[in-house]
């Protein structure tokens, strides 16, 4: 009996092959759409600047809309926290694959690239809390609430970012700000964004853990 239970628990925790495939497809389609298959007439960094920025925006949309939508509309996670952490690791690795090679077509320094990757990874961790809330529950109410939270942060944060002039209010605005080439010193700008993002990610995890706990207790 104990062996059977052990095998069942192992079967609850699976490598997200579908997510890996979709991440690769999203990256490939975005890359081909933006950069094409032919180099520009003058293949210098300014020629790629708009495409690089849009690549960052599309990547962020995949993280903030595509990923939560995929998970909240799919099967319930049998091991919610480990499965969500594995999702976060997969997407964080995909970010490395996307953004470090972009140094070949930009004038990004190593510190600037590291800051870009760090900030986007923090957004992945923040949205991981939303995925954990939705995909870890069989309740349609919690799943719908999780997707609504993801949409509000993505779209509502964009409006706040425009009004307040603070790019870290919005995942899309922060990705655009970091890759527009306006960051002269990443220690004074990009790294400063990690503080509110870290606080927001920690707070959201704590808040949604409480919401999910109440949902489980109520049987929702």
∠ at Cα 31 (27, 36), nearest 5°?
Answer: 155
The set of residues, in sequence order, having a beta carbon less than 8 Å from that of 220 and lying 6+ positions away, is 137, 139, 141, 142
Q: How far apart are CA 207 and CA 95, in angstroms?
A: 26
Kindly report the number of other CB atoms within 10 A of residue 61's CB atom: 17
Q: What mean pLDDT comes out for the span 130-136?
A: 92
Nearest to 150 by CA among 175, 171, 167: 171
Structure confidence by residue, pLDDT tens digits, 18-43: 888 888 888 778 777 766 655 554 55
Helices (H), 73-189: 80-99, 110-135, 140-151, 157-164, 171-179
Q: Taking a C-beta distance cutoff of 8 angstroms, is the pair 169, 161 a contact?
A: yes
Structure confidence by residue, pLDDT tens digits, 183-200: 445 555 667 778 888 998
Q: How far apart are CA 98 and CA 27, in angstroms?
A: 7
Residue 119 DSSP one-character state: H
Nearest to 172 by CA among 189, 186, 153, 191: 153
Structure confidence by residue, pLDDT tens digits, 67-114: 999 999 989 998 899 999 999 999 999 999 889 988 887 888 888 888
Residue 40 DSSP one-character state: -
How is the chain split into domains, by residue range? 15-215
Would you state the structure tokens that stand for residue 173, as one six-digit string? Answer: 């605005």
The pTM assigned to this predicted structure is 0.81
């Amino acid at each position: 009996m104990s062996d059977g239970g052990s095998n069942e628990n192992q079967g609850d925790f699976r490598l997200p092959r579908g997510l890996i495939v979709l991440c690769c497809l999203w990256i490939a389609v975005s890359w081909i759409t933006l950069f094409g298959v032919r180099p520009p007439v003058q293949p210098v960094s300014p020629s790629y600047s708009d495409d690089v920025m849009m690549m960052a925006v599309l990547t962020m949309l995949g993280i903030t809309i595509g990923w939560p939508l995929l998970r909240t509309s799919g099967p319930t996670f049998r091991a919610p926290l480990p499965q969500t952490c594995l999702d976060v690791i997969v997407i964080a690795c995909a970010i490395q694959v996307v953004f470090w090679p972009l140094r070949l077509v930009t004038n990004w320094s190593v510190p600037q690239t590291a800051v870009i990757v760090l900030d986007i990874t923090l957004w992945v961790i923040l949205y991981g809390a939303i995925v954990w809330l939705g995909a870890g529950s069989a309740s349609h109410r919690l799943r719908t609430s999780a997707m609504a939270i993801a949409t509000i942060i993505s779209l509502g944060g964009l409006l706040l970012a425009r009004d307040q002039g603070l790019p870290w209010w919005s995942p899309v605005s922060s990705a655009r700000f970091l890759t527009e080439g306006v960051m002269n010193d990443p220690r004074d700008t990009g790294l400063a964004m990690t503080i509110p993002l870290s606080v927001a990610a920690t707070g959201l995890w704590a808040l949604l853990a409480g919401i999910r706990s109440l949902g489980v207790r109520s049987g929702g």
